[in-house]
Amino acid sequence: RHDIYTYSGVVLVAMNPFSPVQLYSPEAMARYARAASHAADPHLFAIAENAYRGMVNDRRNQTIIVYGESGSGKTTSAKYIMRYFAQAHHADTNDVQMSTVENQILATNPVFESFGNAKTTRNDNSSRFGKFLDIKFERERQQIVGGRIRTFLLERSRVVYQPPTERNYHIFYQLLAGADAELRARLRLDGEYAACGAFHYTNQGGAGSAAIPGVDDAADFAETDASLEMVGIDGTQRGHIWRTLAGILHLGNVEFSGSESTGSFVGAESEPQFAIAAELLGVGEAKLRQWLTKRQIVTRHDNILAKVNKTQALVIRDSIAKFIYARLFDWILGPINASLLPTQVDEGQTSFVGVLDIYGFEHFEHNSFEQFCINYANEKLQQNFNHHVFKIEQEEYRREQLENWTFIGFQDNQPCIDLIEGKPIGILALLDEES
Q: Is the CB of residue 263 less than 8 Å from the CB of residue 316?
A: no
pLDDT, mean of residues 350-370: 84
Kindly report, residue by residue over 67-81, the tens digit of the pLDDT.
888 778 888 899 899
| Catalytic status, residue 6 | no
Active-site residue identified among 68, 71, 147, 247: 71
pLDDT per residue over 363-373, tens digit each? 777 778 888 88
Looking at 49, 68, 70, 113, which residue is catalytic?
70
- Predicted local confidence at residue 409, as pLDDT: 81
Give the pLDDT confidence of 272-287 residue by residue, as tens digits. 999 999 999 999 999 9
Q: pLDDT tens across 188-235, in order?
A: 999 999 999 999 999 999 988 999 999 999 999 999 999 999 999 999
- Of 72, 127, 151, 209, the catalytic one is 127
Residue 93 confidence (pLDDT) above 50:
no
At 227 the pLDDT is 95
Which is more confident, 160 or 208? Answer: 160
pLDDT higher at 241 or 153: 241
In Å, what is the CA distance from 304 to each residue of 131, 226, 264, 296, 300? 41, 48, 17, 6, 11
pLDDT higher than 80, residue 435: no
Q: At what angle do helices 310-340 and 285-293 cross, to 10 degrees?
A: 120
Residue 9 has pLDDT above 80, yes or no: no
Measured CA to CA in angstroms, residue 186 lies from 110, 214, 242, 276, 308 at distances of 25, 29, 10, 10, 33
Mean pLDDT for 319-336 is 96
Model pLDDT, residue 94: 44
Active site residue 113: no
- 298 pLDDT above the threshold of 90: no
pLDDT at residue 97, rounded to an integer:
53
Taking 80 as the threshold, does the pLDDT of residue 383 lie above it?
yes
Catalytic residue of the set 50, 77, 117, 123: 123
- The residue-averaged pLDDT of 301-320 equals 91
For residue 255, the tally of other CB atoms under 10 A from its CB is: 18
| DSSP bridge pairs for 64 | 355
pLDDT value at residue 106: 87
Cα distance between residue 312 and residue 293, in whole Å: 8
Q: What is the DSSP string of 260-300?
A: TTTEEEE-GGGHHHHHHHHHHHT--HHHHHHHHHEEEEE-S
Residue 236: band (very low, low, confident or very high) from pLDDT cuts 50, 70, 90: very high
**Residue 39 phi, psi dihedral angles, 5° rounding:** -75, -35
Higher pLDDT, 295 or 235: 235
Catalytic residue at 262? no
Catalytic site includes residue 70:
yes
CB atoms within 10 A of CB 285: 14
> Which helix or strand (DSSP H or E) is residue 136 part of?
strand 130-138
Catalytic residue among 113, 255, 362, 379: 362
Active site includes 123?
yes
Q: Which residue out of 50, 72, 75, 227 is catalytically annotated?
A: 75
| pLDDT grade for 2, boundaries at 50, 70 and 90 | confident
CB 74 within 8 Å of CB 360: yes
Predicted pLDDT at 68:
83
Candidate list 73, 205, 247, 360, residue with the active-site label: 360
Q: Which of 72, 117, 126, 350 is catalytic?
A: 126
Q: Tell me what the pLDDT averaged over the chain comes to.
A: 89
**Residue with the larger pLDDT of the pair 311 and 90:** 311
Q: What percentage of the chain has pLDDT greater than the value 90?
A: 54
d(C-alpha 319, C-alpha 156), whole Å: 9
Residues above pLDDT 70, as percent of the chain: 96
Would you call 120 a catalytic residue per the annotation? no
pLDDT score of 36: 66
The pTM (predicted TM-score) of the whole model is 0.88
